[in-house]
Structure 1
Amino acid sequence: MLNLAIGEYSTTDVINQLHAKNGVREVKFRYDLLNKYEVKIGELLVADSENSINFNSLANIKRTGIFNFRETELKDVDWLNDRVQPVFLLKMPDGKFIKWPLGMFLLSSPTRKDNFGVWREVEAYDPSVILNENRFDNRYYIQANTKYIDAITTILNSAGIRKVNITNHNGIISIDKEFEIGTSKLEAINQLLSEINFTSIWVDTFGYFTSKPYILPGDRETEYSYKTDDLSITYDGAVNELDLFNVPNKWIITASNPEKAPLTSVYVNDSLNSITSTINRGRVITDFRQIDDIYSQEVLDNYTRRISYNASNIYEKFYFNTCLMPHHDFMNVLYIEYKNLNIASEFIETEWSIDLQAGAKMSHSVRRVINI
């Protein structure tokens, strides 16, 4: 999550203003045009509406946007290399504005529309699209005894990416590894990251390609709270879902590679506190998966627990809207109190979307942290 303490303003100062504690909240947006070196070269004007950003933590390309620019604004834009960086600006009680970048976007070829002048609707993608579109033109080999992080960084660098923020890991690839011709570099990187139980790669608001060790949600700290209290910015109309049909309670994952001894990990949910456990359900529903390789038995066991935890059907899902907030990013842990539906718990945010317009709403999709 982005830092809320900015300059002379503390986190509490900013939260109070975001939640309109003083009764007034003023928000506006700016669209910075950056060249291929990410140097600001100008600002763009957009339509008053129909501009949005979506962040889906479960997607390959996690941050996408739709922007509507007046055509006359775009005459000097290099569509192949320039980037757009929307900026969220919040007016503080002393009249000054503080800001947060909302992402860095590459631009696709736009659609032209006539609406009291010619406008261009531009679909935009965060820089991970570079990895998604860049594919190996030969079989790609990684030698045994290469550090996982070195192998990942080499692939990133081969795609021209230098802004990397991946936590170090000492794991070594134990056998020669190969990726087929035509495999996207994004797919290869995410496979390598999964083998050391890291998150999939994502790009932060400053353009850094980011990944870190996966931590079970129950072991993470709350990053922000939304409560229906005097400072509430949550709208009515939230939706709560719980679908327990065919939820697995046993997971078997094998790592099979002809050059290594096979590894198997089994995890059984037999907890009395879980309504879908083998004990409470009275039957076993097995999820079996096979993977090509993994670093060690310990990592495979952790990976199996991760799969069991992340099996999508075991989550209670909650959808709600708030005022626009600038600081959300990848898989944030939120504490949500929504009295009308008797919700008071921690959730993991899997997706959020904002309309870039003062007074608009921000939508949140979250899944409840369940002990397994």
Structure 2
Amino acid sequence: MIKLSQLEQDILHCKYGSRHEFYRLELLDMYGIKKDDLYLVSGDVSLDCVADIQKSATINFKESSKVNYLSDRIKPFMGVMVGDTIKWWPLGVFLMVQTNSSNGVVRAQCYDETIILQQSQVLAQKVFLKGTNYGEVLRYFIISCGITKINIQSTEHALQEDLIVDDSKNKLEWFNYIAEQINYTKLSVNSDGWFISKKYIEPSPSNVGYIYKEDHMSVLSGNIESLIDYWKVPNVFKRFVSHPTLGELVSIYINADPTSDFSVTKRKMEITDSKQVDNVVNQIELDNLTRKAAFNANQIYEEVTFYTLNMPHHESYDILDLRSEHLNGIFIEQHFNIKLESGSLMTHRVKRLVTLN
């Protein structure tokens, strides 16, 4: 999340009256250096933290002979009048993956620069030795693509065994696969073009980055929608592993608790969660993992959609405190969409853990 000054926050929340919004578009070369300003016609920018490439945009701009569609980037900005000047916030750096032109206007379907890693593979096997710091491994996949704007949170974790990377995955898949092992977020690119990954944290009051509340300075607009998928909550859990010395190990736990609304006893049906696991030393440990899965099934995500005026300071995994008449809680941002148009509404989709009774 881009940090706001108190004045900037007041302006965005219309403390001094209606705010005046502006939108513009810069053309950058492959190194991120500005080449020119482009005439922005319209567009929108979206974030989806579930997707491998988290930021995307559809941008319409007037044709320019200065654009190299194979290597140039475009960078949209949102501005708001603060006093006698305009405060500008970047909304992302994008590659133009698909373009078409009509009547002098280019329509570009764009994705953030993690697409560079997605399209690249390790052509010859590379071995990271046991004891190598995880941060070094993660940075390798970015640096090997010629990227220098890297902000990976430092870690003390090191590989517990040798790691061989090859062309079975692209570099983005390798990065996210390894990041998950130390509970780091998937690779994302922030609004200014920095490649980011950090330790994933669940939403809590101690790490709230921004508050949206219904008061005299509220930017909330429209209905707040909530969705909890109770139907798929499992009540039968199976874990299995092919052990090198003990052979096939299987553990099954059935929720037959008559006081639980989600149990086999109450629902009269089985909703099965079956998974293979790795590196379990014995049957007791496998049973413990199965019971842990059953416990975790009592915590599911509530997904909430709400709308605000365009707020340009948000990034992946922002933690928000939502305070409204009908819904309150701490949430993590999973999706947003900003239309590059003055007075339009921004869509937020956030989630939080809910414990089932």
Structure 1 residues 141 and 64: CA distance shift in structure 2, 3 A: same
Hey, what does 1:2 align to over in structure 2?
A: 2
* Partner residue in 2 for 1:33: 27
Structure whose residues are more often strand by fraction: 2
| TM-score, length basis structure 1 | 0.80
Q: Deviations over 1:295-326 (max 9, x none)?
A: xx9xx98xx88x94898xx2222112111001
For 1:344 and 1:25, how far apart are their aligned partners in 2?
A: 27
Larger Rg: 2
Does residue 1:346 correspond to 2:336, yes or no? no
Q: What does residue 58 of structure 1 align with?
A: 50
Q: CA offset at residue 228 of structure 1?
A: 2.3
d(CA) in 1 for partners of 2:301 and 2:86?
39
CA distance, structure 1, for counterparts of residue 168 and residue 67 of structure 2: 31
Cross-structure match for 2:160:
174
Structure-to-structure mapping, 1:22-171, within 5 angstroms: 22-47=16-41, 49=42, 51-71=43-63, 74-92=64-82, 94-114=83-103, 118-171=104-157
Q: How does 1:221-300 map to 2 (within 5 A)?
A: 221-248=207-234, 287-290=273-276
Q: 1:326/1:168 Cα in 2 relative to 1: closer, same or farther (>3 Å)? A: same
Deviation at 1:15, TM superposition (A): 1.8
The answer to which of 135-144 and 209-218 deviates more is 135-144
What TM-score do the two structures reach when normalised by structure 2? 0.84
What amino acid maps onto 1:162 in structure 2? T
Matched, 1:368 2:352: yes
Quick check: 1:136–1:184 contact (8 Å CA) kept in 2? yes
Deviation larger for 118-127 or 314-323 = 314-323
**C-alpha separation between the residues in 1 aligned to 2:167 and 2:221?**
49
- Looking at structure 1, the residues matched to 44 and 318 of structure 2 have their Cα atoms a distance apart, in angstroms, of 20
Identify the range of structure 1 (17-26 vs 52-61) with the bigger mean alpha-carbon deviation.
Answer: 17-26
Tell me if structure 2 keeps the 8 A contact 1:218–1:369: no
2:71–2:95 Cα contact (<8 Å) kept: yes
Instruction: Determine the C-alpha separation between the residues in 2 that align with 1:203 and 1:267.
Output: 41
Give deviations 1:42-99, integer Å, cap 9, x for gaps: 111121x3x000001111000111101112xx2111212211111111112x222112
**Letter paired with 1:95:** D
The ranges of structure 1 where at least 4 consecutive aligned residues each deviate by more than 3 angstroms after the TM superposition are 138-141, 248-259, 262-271, 274-294, 307-311
Change in 2 beyond 3 A, CA 1:267/1:210? farther
Amino acid in the other structure paired with 1:315: Y
Alignment correspondent of 1:8: none
Unpaired stretches in structure 2, ≥5 consecutive residues: none
The verdict on how the C-alpha distance between 1:268 and 1:173 changes in structure 2, with shifts beyond 3 A counting, is: farther
The match for 2:9 is 15
Contact 1:323/1:361 (CA < 8 Å) preserved in 2?
yes
| 1:173–1:235 Cα change, 3 Å | same
How far apart, in 1, do the equivalents of 2:307 and 2:199 lie? 30
Q: Which moved more, 1:143-152 or 1:96-105?
A: 143-152
Q: How many residues are aligned here?
A: 346
CA positional deviation for 1:363: 0.5
- 2:190 counterpart of 1:204: yes
SS at match of 1:357: coil
Aligned amino acid, residue 35 of structure 1? D
CA 1:124/1:256 → structure 2, altered by over 3 Å: closer, same or farther? Answer: farther
Q: 1:77 to 1:191 in 2, by over 3 A?
A: same
Give 5+ residue unaligned stretches, structure 1: 6-10
**Following TM superposition, by how much is the alpha carbon of 1:338 offset from its aligned partner in structure 2, in angstroms?**
2.9
User: Matched residues in 2 for 1:266 and 1:83: separation?
Assistant: 52
Secondary structure at the counterpart of residue 124 of structure 1: strand
Residues 130 and 293 of structure 1: is their aligned pair in 2 closer, same or farther, counting only changes over 3 Å?
farther
User: For the aligned residues, what is the CA RMSD?
Assistant: 3.6
Letter in 2 for 1:150: E
Checking the alignment, whether the CA contact within 8 Å between 1:348 and 1:369 is kept in structure 2 is no
Map of 2:343 onto structure 1: 359
Q: Distance in 1 between matches of 2:13 and 2:296?
A: 37
1:280 shift after superposition:
9.3
8 Å contact from structure 2 (residues 234, 297) kept in 1: no
Identity of aligned residues (%): 30
Q: 1:198 to 1:291 in 2, by over 3 A?
A: farther
What is the DSSP-based 3-state SS (H/G/I as helix, E as strand, rest coil) of the residue aligned with 1:152?
Answer: helix
1:320, 1:109 → 2: CA distance?
A: 30
